[in-house]
Structure 1
């Protein structure tokens, strides 16, 4: 786990450096290499840099950049070139003792599209953690360079290892920004005289900005552990009154899947895939409601809000495909699934609809 965390931080640093200086004139794309068979751990993440002028300065700058990377394993410089017969080759170079050594050469050939997107088998290792231990090990590896990681672990450590829901119902309310989620959660809480909780909880939300700036594996571990802290609060409060939760595990998982699985809807894990299943060691809500509005209405509601956005929230506004992937992932969540609620009507009608669903599904 420590190696993956270190590699993710190196990957993010290289991305930042490839966007400035002598590389600004180049075209930069993400590059994903994988081994056929789709086994977890076979992925290699990198970057594809194309210099329109094919200048020697770019190659020299890349070698200098690799020379600054002291982490192990150190990244390689790969070059793609065609031979006189038109075949494409990839040559891999590594820096050793101040010089460059060729460490690989392979012909690039077309192959069949895999049945699943290559990152899907790897998702439980770094974005959709199946249990608290998987997320814990990630933040534990971060404690030497992120002091707040230890603070989060200390809070998780204070939570009981096993928690059970009380006799009162627990309702999680999900939805994209500007679907009325905040208003509905507060209104439902007032109507049912319920306790209103949020994920991530207030005890760690002060550190969201710190972890949002970190690589995916660290950011997702932070939000995953936040759900377990909320679960301990749910267990305590649900013995005394109903509990409304403003976002829970479904949000953590859907945004992670939609972000990491590149391409369109067809590349998402199919319905009933294990990645859509609720973690076995996380307290379940009795009911999950998903508020939706049309893209046009959501855009109108967002205008003039002037609120600071997370990386994912900004992506929702700029990228309609990403938004669609998030919505589809929400609808594919299972055990429990989401009850979709049209949040377009008036506030009063939406509240009546939500209360009716709760009455039908919860004692």
Structure 2
């Protein structure tokens, strides 16, 4: 049995892309569509490149990204079929870029999230990015962005694009390419037009490459890729490897209590555990909770791998302790949602602590006899 409050759905990401011409185009083959996240979490879908070449000029696209002001695209490429280590490196680079864009000479620009993709989940996969909007169209913005690219020499290297409007309400996209020993040059242009909303969300085909883990090994592979720069990841993996892959729950009930912060959840869990003489477990478990802040500062794919593996450790602890006594779990929400008919009940936490505790105990007694 479990008690839980339902979490809010996460905000939708934005997406961007654009194929390029020239010598570098054949090697990288960027995506051909984008969906840009606008204020209010609305999305603008655009098509870039050869697929939009025959389309009529689109005043809507030009008004969105053209004058007044100037817009730039910046995204982190991930090689098609890239391994787990490549995805982790790209995610960390994307996070670092966002921090740099929000500071220094670029902090006055507007930032919008975007995601590069191919229609229908093509072979190039999905690339996270950002659209930077300079309302003042300052030449210093372009110089600062190119200097930012110069500071990133390791792979994967960020890709910079620039949107330019024309008096005929056309919108064009240029990519900046580094020439050997000769600095940066523009490649293009490529036409940009509005595109219809896709029937399938672009990230769905790429779910196996995101922070959604179908099993323990998928999450483990992410932390394994982090061990060169996060030494604590090895300690987490060693603890996970000590857990049996198929943990069998004992005969005593397992009660998960979930809730928002500052709702009295911790007080209730402790009181219930004392009343039932139960073992109290927490997620993430105590053996890895000292590294929680460290992993919270990492990109989503790393952070979710840490918490996912923490759930497997808790599941192993639950299986062991439930052979001896009832188990109260403070927050394994993900684990019990995977159970068949977990028996969730929502408890109003607004009354006094004593009434909330009495209501929880009454539910437990009715459900668990």
Normalised TM-score (structure 1): 0.72
- Give, in angstroms, the shift of residue 32 of structure 1: 2.3
Between the aligned partners of 1:232 and 1:152, the Cα distance in structure 2 is 14
Matched, 1:354 2:360: yes
- 5 Å-filtered alignment, 1:1-363, equals 1-37=84-120, 42-98=125-181, 99-102=183-186, 105-115=189-199, 117-250=201-334, 278=338, 284=339, 336=342, 338-363=344-369
Q: 1:102 to 1:336 in 2, by over 3 A?
A: farther
- Give, in angstroms, the shift of residue 184 of structure 1: 1.1
- Give, in angstroms, the shift of residue 76 of structure 1: 1.0
Q: CA offsets per residue over residues 97-127 of structure 1, 9 Å max, x none? A: 2422445543222222234543355445332
Residue 59 of structure 1: SS of its match in structure 2? Answer: helix
Residue 346 of structure 2: SS of its match in structure 1? Answer: strand
Between the aligned partners of 1:88 and 1:336, the Cα distance in structure 2 is 53
Residue 288 of structure 2: SS of its match in structure 1? Answer: helix
- Give, in angstroms, the shift of residue 246 of structure 1: 0.4
Q: 1:155 to 1:18 in 2, by over 3 A?
A: same
Between the aligned partners of 2:273 and 2:124, the Cα distance in structure 1 is 44
Normalised TM-score (structure 2): 0.71
Deviation >3 Å, runs of 4+: 38-41, 101-106, 114-125, 334-338
Q: CA offsets per residue over residues 81-105 of structure 1, 9 Å max, x none? A: 1233212222222323242244554
Residue 357 of structure 2: SS of its match in structure 1? Answer: helix
Residue 244 of structure 2: SS of its match in structure 1? Answer: coil
Give the aligned length. 285
In our comparison, the structure showing a higher alpha carbon Rg is: 2
Q: 1:175 to 1:40 in 2, by over 3 A?
A: farther
- The answer on whether the counterparts of 1:67 and 1:95 sit within 8 Å (CA) in structure 2 is no
Q: 1:140 to 1:89 in 2, by over 3 A?
A: same
- The answer on whether the counterparts of 2:110 and 2:133 sit within 8 Å (CA) in structure 1 is yes
Residue 206 of structure 1: SS of its match in structure 2? Answer: helix
- The answer on whether the counterparts of 2:89 and 2:156 sit within 8 Å (CA) in structure 1 is no
- The answer on whether the counterparts of 1:32 and 1:44 sit within 8 Å (CA) in structure 2 is yes
- The answer on whether the counterparts of 2:176 and 2:187 sit within 8 Å (CA) in structure 1 is yes
- The answer on whether the counterparts of 1:136 and 1:225 sit within 8 Å (CA) in structure 2 is yes
Q: Structure 2: which 5+ residue stretches go unaligned?
A: 1-83
Q: 1:109 to 1:134 in 2, by over 3 A?
A: same
- The answer on whether the counterparts of 1:30 and 1:46 sit within 8 Å (CA) in structure 2 is yes
Between the aligned partners of 2:259 and 2:123, the Cα distance in structure 1 is 30
Q: 1:153 to 1:123 in 2, by over 3 A?
A: same
Q: 1:189 to 1:120 in 2, by over 3 A?
A: farther
- Give, in angstroms, the shift of residue 141 of structure 1: 0.1
